[in-house]
Chain A
Amino acid sequence: MIQRSLTLFAGLFVLILVIGWAMGLPFTSSRLVEAAAYALIALGLNIQWGYGGLFNFGIMGFLMVGGFAVTFISFPVNAAFWGSDGPMMLGKALIAFAAAAILVIAARQSHRIGVRGRWKTALTVLAWFVGYCLYRSQLDPAAAYIETTGGGFVGGLGAHPLLGWLFGGVLAAGVAYIVGKVALGLRTDYLAIATIGISEIIRALIKNMDWLTRGTLTVSPIPWPTPLPQDYQATGSDQFSSLMLARGGFLVLAIAVLAIAIFLISRAYSGPWGRMMRAIRDNHIASASMGKNVTARQLEIFVFGSVLMGIGGAMLVSFTQIFDPSSYQPINHTFLIWVMIIVGGAGNNWGAVFGAVLIWLVWVVSEPLAKVIFEFVSYWSTNVGWGAIPEIESRSAQMRVFVLGLVITIALRYAPKGLIPEVVRRDV
């Protein structure tokens, strides 16, 4: 098994060298940084699906939460907002939100004062409605004010991006806790659909809350945790070497975070906690009868996985320096991660990392590769007299979706456990 993994990783290394030779260093280096971030996200999904057997199809939502978190923490302070009436109005909206929450909780506890059955349901619905109206009545004017005269949007806090990554993890954990509380009781395919629905709700909120995230107007440039190419250029390096130095610095940081994550997860998974998780995944009824609290453990693992997704999402936004809510798509940010896990091998951390890097490279390379193939076919068909293929550029951009589907189909048919499958040690 170890020999097989080593061979596969050696093959991956050769693939990276080939891509670096064919596409140039600037392209390859930035793809590698992204691959490291995706590896972290894939590890998060590996915890949820590989260890816990939880069907999370809402990865996009957690990536967006992480991206928003790093934007909010590390973007420079927006003085125009803090000097206006905006903070005051937002404070009022926050109080309205708290009041609405108290109203709903009170209605849910109304059975204590003797309101039961249908009356309680009616009261709860009424409380939700009144609370929603109360919140909207305070938030709508605040949002309209901030977007027009109050500085455009809330802005950031101007803190170090690493704090932003951390906050991305914390915020994703908070969201995951709520989502898990709500949805984890559902069976697999219901859970999949529910998490897709929730991630779409998160996307709609982040995209349309212009006062908080600037929505489709996008926020940029978001600072890097490591020195930018411009900083190196200021000290006298030439353009190419400063780009390489800056990207190299970011890559080292990303790999360090990834290494810490792998170390911690592997320690936890090879210990009693990991054995308990495997037991719950394989037979939750039996583990419940052994005294394990299945619901609490599943919630725990859902939150742990989401923390990694949040950090990964924050890293991606930091690296590209732009937070664009409309660039998030279920195909690119949910299904892609699933393909990484399925191909790499669910339940194996090295499999997840391998799958993430491999699939990310396949994803980014399939477009230029398709273009080369199309141009070749086009050249041939022009010579034969059938005419050239029209719109090669846009057509080859669409090919990567097809390649992704093909890869997952082949993987399911011929390597259903993944390229580096889970290792279950029976001797300990």
Chain B
Amino acid sequence: MTELVFFINQVVISGAVLGCIYALGAVGITLVFGILRFAHFAHSELMTSGAFFAFLLATLFASWGIVTPIPTGFVVLPIAMVISAVFALGIDKGFYAPLRKRGARPVTLLIASIGVTLMIQGLIRLFFGAGSYSFFETEIKEVFRIDLSAIGSTRPLVITEPQLLMIIVTVISVLVLHFFLTRSRLGKAMRAMADNPDLAQVSGINTTLVVRVTWVVAGALACMAGTMLALDVTLKPDLAFNIIIPIFAAAIVGGLGQAYGAIAGGLLIGFAESLAVFNWTMVLRPLNAILPETMQLPATLSFVPTEYKLTVAFVILVVVLLVKPTGIFKGASS
């Protein structure tokens, strides 16, 4: 039983946490791709800046002396999401809209998004330096240890408070997104425009509004993902820049343009990463008793060494692009 609990601690929980973050990031990327047809690289910076907005708000709250039962990062999240949504709208208006108006190709927009990435990253580093920050400088990060000796485990199940909240918040926001996309008029308009922009426009859908809503949703979700990543690890200027390719991998694995695919792809990549570096000897150790002396298991037995953890996502990405470029759920082809 100890082995099973260890497996849950190492793979299921960390995979779910990573998967949630990837999924939320990938949904934004996939929505932008579906509506505007370009790979939005600056999404990583939307995530990082969203996390910094939340951090500033949390610092403000702490300086006002407001003490909250749950981590302040989660309390200020809605406000930070609104700020991020406005920020995303501003970026679109300032950088992408003029190019779109000129009729630039998607490739040009992709390069423009790299320019935006560099500018935001430069600004964040200008104001916050290159060091790292923590949401838990003034409050403590609660760790739940669930004693499982009743079922014969010597180890407790370990999950931190932010991790638990993170999974709950992700599930709620995915449900809200689902109902938004399937039930509301705007959500249906978004799906229509992703399927066929021309037809959507002729049917009287306000495409400008749809584009705006897309940026609002993408910015808000990016802020959520960035803040949660910063709550789980630490906040630094290259927080999301390092994981943007795994997030793209998640969006592509799920099929670009497919919101549900992005969630599935995010979870898949998250679990694959933590599974690939998992040390199987820890689970298979009881086998040592029945194996002969020469066949004893080595001390570490994992698919890939730990330093290649992020590489797993790239390998999955390349394999998926080769075997099934449209992804699990059939993605956009143009």
- Interface residue ranges, A against B (CB under 8 Å): 55, 182-183, 186, 188-190, 192-194, 196-198, 200-201, 204, 207-208, 331, 335, 338, 342, 391, 394-395, 398-406, 408-409, 412-413, 416
Q: Which of A200, A335, A406, A416 has most B Cβ within 10 Å?
A: A200
**Shortest CB distance A7–B (Å):** 26
Top 8 nearest A-B pairs by Cβ distance? A402-B122, A405-B118, A405-B119, A398-B125, A408-B115, A197-B314, A401-B122, A189-B39
Chain B residues with CB under 8 Å of A394's CB are 129-130
Considering only CB atoms, which chain A residue lies closest to B38 in the complex?
Answer: A189
Chain B residues with CB under 8 Å of A400's CB are 122
Chain A residues with CB under 8 Å of B104's CB are 412, 416
In angstroms, Cα B108 to Cα A73, docked, is 40
B310 within 8 A of A: yes
B112 and A189 contact, CB distance less than 8 A: no
B126 and A193 contact, CB distance less than 8 A: no
Chain B residues with CB under 8 Å of A186's CB are 321, 325
B117 within 8 A of A: yes
Name the prevailing secondary structure of the B interface residues: helix
**Shortest CB distance B248–A (Å):** 5
Chain A residues with CB under 8 Å of B192's CB are none
In angstroms, Cα B114 to Cα A55, docked, is 14
A198 and B118 contact, CB distance less than 8 A: no
A190 and B121 contact, CB distance less than 8 A: no
In angstroms, Cα B119 to Cα A197, docked, is 23
In angstroms, Cα B181 to Cα A143, docked, is 52
Given contacts A189-B106, A208-B308, A399-B126, contact A331 B249 (CB under 8 A): no
Chain B residues with CB under 8 Å of A189's CB are 38-39, 106-107, 110
B305 and A183 contact, CB distance less than 8 A: no
B112 and A409 contact, CB distance less than 8 A: yes
A188 and B107 contact, CB distance less than 8 A: yes
Chain B contacts with A in 67-97, Cβ cutoff 8 A: 95
**Shortest CB distance A317–B (Å):** 22
In angstroms, Cα B19 to Cα A338, docked, is 32
**Shortest CB distance B277–A (Å):** 13
Considering only CB atoms, which chain B residue lies closest to A412 in the complex?
Answer: B112
A402 and B318 contact, CB distance less than 8 A: no
Chain A residues with CB under 8 Å of B106's CB are 188-189
18 CB < 8 A contacts A-B: A188-B106, A189-B107, A193-B39, A194-B318, A197-B249, A197-B318, A200-B310, A201-B315, A208-B305, A395-B129, A399-B122, A400-B122, A405-B114, A405-B117, A405-B122, A409-B95, A409-B112, A412-B99
Chain A residues with CB under 8 Å of B98's CB are 413
